[in-house]
Structure 1
Amino acid sequence: MLARRRRIPVVYTYHTRLEHYAHFVPLPGALFRNLISHALIRRFANRCHGVVVPTYSAEEYLRMIGVKSPIFVQPTGIDYPRFQQVDAPALARLRTALGLGEETVLISASRLSGEKNIDFMLEALAALRRRSPRPFRLLLIGDSHERQRLQEKIAWLGLAERVTLVGAVPPEEMASWYQLGQLFLFASKSETQGMVIPEAMAAGLPVVAGLPVVAVRSSGIEDAVKEGVNGFKTPGQQEPWCARVALLLEDEALRRRLSAQARAFARQHSIECFARAMREIYATTLARAAKERNGS
């Protein structure tokens, strides 16, 4: 409304699959998930002069629900240099505080909420403990209303010594936490991009390598995780997901190769690259709007 009054174009950045958040809405789940969420997005996007999405799968979804506005695919940038900075004393203090030894450290970061599929990951790790002799420790970064329930589930699964719920971590400290790990795990099915994935790929140790990723296949993962290149993506089934994690736990040479390629992928998603691309998107949108106003 304000844009029409000022006669300026609107660019909408689309980053949330609303249908995956039906459990937060006081309406029948199927009604919101299958009808209302799509109608809200379609109506708003079609009133804009352009829509920015982080992945091609997000573009495909918007076209499928009837969005006609111009769509620009542009992954959000990360502060790449920040994840290259290594604070050795801070890392040493973290390792000591967490009691980390020679085990392989797995990292995951997400809100502790239903749409993030944490239960699936915990159950798969319980199966992994039974199938692989390689010791591991998962540091799960994030917090939310389900923390107590998940802590109880960890104990019930016998994972109390294998999984640590870290809680919320300030953004400026995330690089150090990523650098503790050798592998990044992700199970969410609700992402449009999953910003923690390129961050993790940028931040491994040694400095020439990032964290390879094992993720559940979903629309927001398709463009970020290149199968067998910087990680693996599997169906939302315990056996294939668990098998890929076990493979990277036990095959150090493969893990190192994917780590180097993960870092190269993350470098392409710096804030500088993102800013240049967004400048072009805004310029294109302004030019198109001016052309429409002039009737040409």
Structure 2
Amino acid sequence: MKILVGSLTYPLPNGVTNSINVSLDGFKEAGHELIVVAPDYGTGKFRPEHYPVASSRILEIVSGSYGNGERFFSLKAAGQIQRIIAELNPDAYWLHTVTWAPNIFEVIMAQQRKPRVVTYHTNIDYYGRVYAGAVGEKHMAERSREVCQAVEQIIVPSHQIEEKLRALDVSKPIAVIPTGIPPAHGALTPKELRQRYSIPQENKVLLFTGRLVREKNISGLIQMMADLCKLRSDVSLLLIGPGVHKDFETEAESLGVKKNIVMAGQASAQEVRRHYPAADAFVSASQHETQGLVIGEAMYAGLPVIALDSPIREEFYPQSVAVVVSEQASFAASVNKVLNDEKLALKLTEAGKKFFAKNFAVQLMIDRQIKLFNSVVGPATPKPPTS
């Protein structure tokens, strides 16, 4: 089976890139061929299956506040994508980006007589509201419906997103397949982590990984630290990910906790995963995730999770495996309780690992995806698995 994948943000460090990479590895091991077409970010081929094509900086300029500098396909990309199609002769097309306007890959995909699949990764209507108010929210909801109705199959990471799309009158088949999380290798020790970021060795380290942007509610984490530092001074918050750091640094300074917060910047997915085992707890204030991938990564690494309540809580961090905080005002106290109670932290760690193994194993994701594509494309004889 040969599948052409399209993404506007590959290989930028984000959950979509992580998901695509897991699929590439799993499908390849099963003897199938996937190729990823994405705008050229000037970094060359991220891996052999990655085919960068001509890009435009229009989206990068428009969405600069997102913190990643996403790009669009340029007009020249159309010919490049057509040549890739002629060479690959794909059995199916797999779109991984839904944006404010149709991109060239989406347009070309719509012209093909082969099955088309979209993975709906992101709450783009919420992003539309954050950056363009009610008009942006309405437009992105309409785009969601438009894209999903134009394909034969939709993949979503959670039942909450499935319900959301149904509420938008999307009638096409939807499969719920959470993203699998690969293991980390070469974990940092607590001492190494603190030395790397000049954090006092005696400090407890709270970790958040992900884009440092408004929609992740980084302000909620900074406010939590301001409240927590009134209860104890031996604590640091380590934020790892791309974004507009200066705005949040100003916010931290205004609340008097700048010295307790480290904004480490962007790192590769594998490098980020090395940090989890060296921290004391994972914290999240985001309330508009589609699956909370980083929460699963933290659980897999054996890190207790404390997170604000959100619509995906029951599917991804129920109260049986995490400390779910109902309101911002009690966030700091909940974090402090976990830091002070080793038995509670251990209980959360053990429960989180079991929950992860049952729901987010990589092979579980790959098996479901291959089964789905076989049903859409029709069974085919794969190439012999690579040695």
| Bucket of the pairwise TM-score, normalised by the shorter protein | 0.7 to 0.9
Give the structure 2 partner of residue 281 of structure 1: 372
Normalised by the length of structure 1, the TM-score is 0.84
Matching residue's letter, 1:10: R
Native 8 Å contact 2:206 2:235 kept in 1 = yes
1:182-206 CA-partner distances (Å, limit 9, x unpaired): 2100111231112211111112xxx
Letter in 2 for 1:183: A
Say yes or no: does 1:271 pair with 2:377. no
SS of residue in 2 equivalent to 1:61: helix
* Residue 235 of structure 2: aligned partner: 136
Hey, what does 2:307 align to over in structure 1?
215
Q: Deviations over 1:231-263 (max 9, x none)?
A: 12233x322323321221222111111011112
For residues 336 and 199 of structure 2, the distance between their equivalents in structure 1, rounded to whole angstroms, comes to: 23
Residue 24 of structure 1 deviates from its aligned partner by 7.1
Q: Cα 1:47–1:136, aligned 2, differ >3 Å: closer, same or farther?
A: same
- Deviation (angstroms), 1:4: 5.9
Partner of residue 251 from structure 2, selected from 140, 144, 153: 153
Is 1:100 matched up with 2:190?
no
Aligned to 2:57: none
Q: Which residue of 2 aligns with 1:291?
A: none
RMSD: 2.2
1:42 is aligned to 2:133: no
Show CA shifts across 1:95-117 (max 9, x none).
22323322221101121211111
What is aligned with 2:71?
Answer: none
**Residue 55 (structure 1) aligned to one of 143, 158, 163:** 158
Aligned-partner SS, 1:191 = coil
**Is the 2:110–2:150 Cα contact (8 Å) retained in structure 1?**
no
How far residue 5 of structure 1 moved from its aligned partner, in angstroms, is 4.8
Q: Is this contact kept in 2: 1:103–1:135, CA < 8 A?
A: yes
Q: Which stretches in structure 1 are left out of the alignment for 5+ residues?
A: 204-209, 289-296
**1:257 is the counterpart of 2:380:** no
1:128-207 equivalences under 5 Å are 128-130=228-230, 132-133=231-232, 135-145=234-244, 147-203=245-301
- Residue 221 of structure 2: SS of its match in structure 1? helix
SS of the equivalent of 2:316 reads coil
Unaligned runs of at least 5 residues, structure 2: 1-106, 380-387
Q: 1:194 to 1:77 in 2, by over 3 A?
A: same
Aligned counterparts of 1:87 and 1:152: Cα–Cα separation in 2: 29
Single out whichever of 38-47 and 163-172 deviates more from structure 2: 163-172
Question: Which residue of 1 is the match for residue 225 of structure 2?
Answer: 125
Q: Secondary structure at the match of 1:179?
A: helix
Bigger RCO (CA 8 Å, 6+ sep): 1
8 Å contact 1:12–1:50 — kept in the other structure?
A: yes
Number of residues of Structure 1 aligned to a counterpart in Structure 2: 271
Identity %: 28
1:259-279 CA-partner distances (Å, limit 9, x unpaired): 111122223312222111111
TM-score normalized by structure 2? 0.65
Amino acid at match of 1:148: K
- Cα distance between partner residues in 1 of 2:204 and 2:110: 55
> Could you tell me which residue of structure 2 aligns to residue 30 of structure 1?
134
Q: Which residue of 2 aligns with 1:112?
A: 212
Comparing both structures, which one devotes a greater share of its residues to helix?
1
Return the alpha-carbon distance in structure 1 between the equivalents of residues 332 and 194 of structure 2: 26
Judged with a 3 Å threshold, the aligned counterparts in structure 2 of structure 1 residues 87 and 240 are, in CA distance, closer, same or farther, namely closer
**What SS class does the counterpart of residue 264 from structure 2 fall into?**
strand
Please name the residue that 1:86 is paired with: 187
SS of the aligned residue for 1:161 comes to helix
User: Cα distance, 1:3 vs. partner?
Assistant: 5.0
- Cα displacement (A) at 1:282: 1.2
